Amino acid sequence: MDETRQAPGPAIVMYTQAFCAYCAAARKLLRSKGVTFEEIDVTLNATQRREMMARSGGRTVPQIFIDDQPVGGYDDIARLDRDGELDALLGIES
């Protein structure tokens, strides 16, 4: 599923794969923030998986980028959210 950015703010890209609980959790957290994002499913796409690994340096999913900067996976954005830093990265005013 691809979502297209409608509102102004940072470009958010998330690499995912099917049947990934951490991907689902990251998707839920981003949606709860009211932001839109592009989702790239690498389940059966070796080219996109290689692209993800080259961009992020990671092999696991999800891999999340905000304005082309790798921020990590679900645990990383959940920690940023707990620490009160995620909203600023997402361009959300507190």
Confidence at residue 9, expressed as pLDDT on a 0 to 100 scale: 83
> What is the Cα–Cα distance from 68 to 54, expressed in whole angstroms?
13
- Please report, for the chain, the start and end positions of each structural domain, with discontinuous segments joined by +: 12-90
Q: How far apart are CA 87 and CA 94, in angstroms?
A: 7
Return the pLDDT at 93. 81
Top-level CATH class of 12-90?
Answer: alpha beta
How many Cβ atoms from other residues are within 10 Å of residue 49's Cβ?
19
57 vs 82: CA distance, rounded Å? 24
pLDDT at 7 over 80: no
Q: Give this prediction's pTM.
A: 0.89
Q: CB-based contacts of 59: which residues, under 8 Å, 6+ apart?
A: 53
* pLDDT digit string, tens, across residues 30-88: 999 999 999 999 999 999 999 999 999 999 999 999 999 999 999 999 999 999 999 99
* pLDDT number for residue 1: 47
